[in-house]
Amino acid sequence: MAARLCSISAAARRLLRSPELRAGNVAAAAVGRFYSKDNEGSWFRSLFVHKVDPRKDAHSTLLSKKETSNLYKIQFHNVKPECLDAYNSLTEAVLPKLHLDEDYPCSLVGNWNTWYGEQDQAVHLWRFSGGYPALMDCMNKLKNNKEYLEFRKERSQMLLSRRNQMLLEFSFWNEPQPRAGPNIYELRTYKLKPGTMIEWGNNWARAIKYRQENQEAVGGFFSQIGELYVVHHLWAYKDLQSREETRNAAWRKRGWDENVYYTVPLVRHMESRIMIPLKISPLQ
């Protein structure tokens, strides 16, 4: 026994003599004295290291639609309050003309003003058919479009701030299609804990069936460029009362509560916007 003790480090001998160990609390002694930067290479710390199997696919490959190569851009404009009407008029006058050019591999999906949520805000959603090559092709063509450059210059004087994200669509959600109105739209934004996107997708692939009866599910997206680990769910309702009734009906379906139970712990922050479509929006 003496020979064995001689081969143990001084730190280990201190552990064997510690009050925690004598009290029977081996785990407390081990964690308190060995799980530190000074002992990162120690034999004892290795017992607590989690082994992770390497992934062979990015979550964007596992969760996005395989049959299409669509890329989406969502844009948020915070408009000066006194300029919102002028901003809407300018947007409705110029954007449709730009998209009449069939050489642009880009289409409008939806255009809104936020009604409840962040005020004096415009939200725009575009689809690029062909992925990143289509995005770059469109950007290069717009650089030489004088009408677009004048539009941006005039628009910039009306804005307080702007931001955007590049998105992919979840494979299990509907692809957004034009729809007749009148409708209100809810954009629910979830900022997830890093590393939880696959788990989120697995749960929602099962849960989406509970939210299809009234065709309220418009589209589901996750970010690729911009702020990461962000999910956007887009819903359509006839009005706020319809929204309330539809959401309450989901809670009466067996299984919906399980989805909420398993996904809430994945969320760091969530936000809801109620939005009204602009006149030019394909989603009315």
Strand partners, 235: 186, 217
The answer as to whether 33 is a domain residue is no
Return mean pLDDT, the chain: 83
Q: What is the pLDDT of residues 114-171, one digit of tens each?
A: 999 999 999 999 999 889 999 999 999 999 999 999 999 999 999 999 999 999 999 9
Percent of the chain with pLDDT over 90: 62
**Tokens 């962000």, residue?**
230
Read off the pLDDT band of 276 (50, 70, 90). Answer: very high
> Residue 181 falls within a domain, yes or no?
yes
Q: Give the amino acid at 69.
A: S
In a domain, 206, yes or no: yes
Predicted local confidence at residue 69, as pLDDT: 75
Residue 37 has pLDDT above 70, yes or no: no
SS3 (DSSP) at 39: helix
Give the CATH number for residue 224: 3.30.70.100
Mean pLDDT within 251-280: 93
Q: Has residue 50 been placed in a domain?
A: no
CA distance 49 to 80: 52
Domain presence at residue 64: no
Q: Which domain holds residue 222?
A: 70-277
- Read off the pLDDT band of 60 (50, 70, 90): low
Domains: count for the chain: 1
Does residue 282 lie within any of the structural domains? Answer: no
Q: What is the pLDDT of residues 168-224, one digit of tens each?
A: 999 988 889 999 999 999 999 999 999 999 999 999 998 898 888 788 999 999 999
This prediction has a pTM of: 0.78
| Distance separating alpha carbons of residues 236 and 216, to the nearest angstrom | 5
pLDDT at 103: 81
